[in-house]
Amino acid sequence: MNVAFFSTKSYDRSSFTAANGERHRLRFLEPHLTAETVSLARGSDAVCVFVNDVVHAGVIAELSALGVRFIALRCAGFNNVDVAEANRLGIGVGRVPAYSPYAVAEYTVALMLTLNRQIHRAYNRVREGNFSLEGLTGFDFHGRTVGLIGTGKIGAITAKILLGLGCRVIAYDPFPNQECAALGVAFVPLEELFGACDVISLHCPLTPENHHLISDPALAKMRDGVMIINTSRGALIDTRAVIEALKSGRVGYLALDVYEEEGELFFENLSDTIIADDIFSRLLTFPNVLITGHQAFFTRNALDNIAATTLANLTEFETTGRCVNAPPAK
Ligand code: NAD
């Protein structure tokens, strides 16, 4: 197939070119897929998109008019694509449901431990010749209660790592993971989880129902000084509410690998520009907030798996008109 790749970086070109051989004709483009850039897909049978390409109904109508027949997501989440509208217009959609859940789970625990032991602050201090330990006190994770919201592929691996550290792990999931339950993870109602945890980590997809899952009412139920980790999707957290909770001390630690307005920021080098997002800038002022730019997935294993599965999705759709990795259309 002729495939137009949007939002590509050097690492996308390397991994896809190596995995593709001569099978599909790949055209790598730097811009995001938007209503303004959709015409770049002209002449393509398929487009390949990433987390911050917003493929809403208007873009899908344009893709259909250009003769595009398949949207290949090179990520797991599909909240940025109107799957139902694509299917209505006869456009297939495929995603990469799992490429390395270990990458994200390991990164999640790295964020927890970094924040707790303040390694992000210690690193800078030592480089300045400041070897003071004042303000760097952490706590033992052993024996602490960690609550996981979502126990799919990533949540389940995170649970296993945390059990290995000696944590008590509780979880909420509308479809509790039986393997986790067998390992000793207690499934509890969401409201109970909010009040029972020292650490809360998000591992569920973003859906219209759980937009701003973590907002004022949820924060009010949490323990003082709670640690919140989000490696899932930014809009699960109401950022304004969490800033107020950081100011009051209700939230004691916050790590974000995703941010609700990340589309304007992440994956780009903006070091020579002024960040216009005042909410994001306020977050950066807290010593107990650690933000990274959607890199939890970013291992060589994950990039290779993403390329292999995305190309297999394209081949399957080209040959059968179907894709085993089609996301559900709501
Ligand atoms: P998964 O589909 O294997 O598991 C998701 C789990 O969430 C399921 O068990 C589901 O029942 C549960 N769930 C659904 N709605 C829920 C809700 N409202 N409350 C609690 N649980 C709910 O997905 P996964 O592979 O474990 O990935 C989880 C999320 O991680 C993805 O949706 C994606 O948004 C995010 N992700 C982030 C990165 C990154 O680089 N930061 C990389 C990959 C995935």
pLDDT on residue 291:
98
d(CA 42, CA 63): 8
d(CA 233, CA 93): 20
Domains delineated in the chain: 2-99+300-320 (3.40.50.720), 101-291 (3.40.50.720)
**8 Å CB contact between 232 and 203:** yes
Alpha helices in 73-187 (DSSP H): 83-88, 101-117, 119-127, 153-164, 178-183
Query: Percentage of the chain surpassing pLDDT 90?
Result: 98
Which residues pair with residue 196 across a beta bridge? none
**Is 240 known to be catalytic?**
no
Residue 166, classified by CB atoms within 10 Å of its CB into exposed (0-12), middle (13-18) or buried (19+), is: exposed
Instruction: Select from 86, 77, 95 the least CA-distant residue to 58.
Output: 86
pLDDT tens track for 112-137: 999 999 999 999 999 999 999 999 99
Distance 151 CA to ligand 1 centre (A): 8
Q: Is pLDDT above 90 for 329?
A: no
pLDDT on residue 330:
67
Residue among 75, 104, 179 to mutate when testing ligand 1 (max atoms within 8 A of CB)? 104
Q: How far is CA 132 from the centre of its chain?
A: 35
Distance 27 CA to ligand 1 centre (A): 30
pLDDT on residue 328:
86
**Is 262 known to be catalytic?**
yes
d(CA 111, CA 292): 9
